Amino acid sequence: MKRLSIARLVLAITLFSQMIYCEQFQDYLFYIKVGSGVSCSQSANICAPNPPWSPAVQGYDARLGNCPIAAFTVGCELWHVLDLEFVAANRSLFKYRKFQTPTTGGASYTREFDLDVTSVLFDVNFLGRGISCFHKNVGCGQIYPMIGVGLGGSNLLITNYRTTGLPATGDSAPYASFSAQNEYTLRKQVTYTAQVGLEYSHDDSWAIAIGYRWFDAGHFKGPRYQTVASGAAVDVGCNAWKMRFRAHEWFIEFKIFI
């Protein structure tokens, strides 16, 4: 009898251990994800102090246009209700172009620069997959809503910053001259995102998602050191442009469980 009881106990422990192992295995899934989409910039909200910057009829503010997104993600899905992930993404290349006419009269010109935004964020996404009333079975998978937030940092690289289309002066004749020139300036900013979308998961092997994201890299300054039309180097100090970067984004992401 003792041997039979011990055998039953060993069998029970073995079955219980296997059950716990299977449940733990199902509780989390690691994945990699690639994403793309379009980032639609909002107003750059540029503030250019006067002096030294000349007032213009059209002002300084403008949008930076739209550009594609390329993203790579490593993450873990917990209990089919929570995604924890690290996301590296690039948005290249936004363009600022502002035609201006001085309020005091004279020839017009164009202020311009390019902006490259590279971000590294930690995202938390809540999924409806593990909640019966928030998912729908479709074929061999499920479709469900997701909502998430992200926090991290961005490198904002300003390049080709200059004022072009100025009249020929000095040795530039007969060619147009330029001023306020700076090849590149790098700013680092705390960044946050908020997103909502729909995801379809196929039998714990892959998933695809589409949705909307709000991207906010906050306020930052333009180039401090510049070269003017005469060729002199200038430190504008606290009079550098002040601007911000915010964008509405539409994305598509493909997830592979590993």
Per-residue pLDDT tens digits for 37-82:
999 999 999 999 988 888 999 999 999 999 999 999 999 999 999 9
If we measure between CA atoms, which residue out of 120, 128, 39, 25 comes closest to residue 73?
120
130 versus 96: which is more confidently predicted?
96
Q: What residue type is 180 in one-letter code? A: A
- Does this model's pTM top 0.85? My answer is no
pLDDT recorded at residue 175: 66
pLDDT 10s digits, 180-192: 888 889 999 999 9
176 versus 108: which is more confidently predicted?
108
pLDDT recorded at residue 172: 61
pLDDT recorded at residue 24: 44
Give the distance from CA 177 to its chain's centroid: 35
Is domain 29-257 annotated with CATH 2.40.160.20?
yes
Q: What is the mean pLDDT of residues 114-118?
A: 97
Q: How far apart are CA 126 and CA 148, in angstroms?
A: 6
> Which three-class secondary structure state does DSSP give residue 80?
coil
Cis bond before residue 93 (omega within 30° of 0) = yes
Does 152 score more than 60 pLDDT? yes
Q: What is the mean pLDDT of residues 134-138?
A: 88
> Residue 129 in contact with residue 82, Cβ under 8 Å?
no
Provide the 10 A C-beta neighbour count for residue 49.
12
pLDDT 10s digits, 201-255: 998 899 999 999 999 999 999 999 988 767 778 888 889 999 999 999 999 999 9
> Residue 234 in contact with residue 53, Cβ under 8 Å?
no
> Residue 93 in contact with residue 114, Cβ under 8 Å?
yes
**How much is the mean pLDDT over the chain?**
87
pLDDT recorded at residue 8: 58
Confidence band of 1 (pLDDT split at 50, 70, 90): low
> Which three-class secondary structure state does DSSP give residue 134?
helix
Does 140 score more than 90 pLDDT? no
Q: What is the mean pLDDT of residues 106-112?
A: 88
> Which three-class secondary structure state does DSSP give residue 240?
coil
Q: Where are the alpha helices (DSSP H) in the chain?
A: 2-27
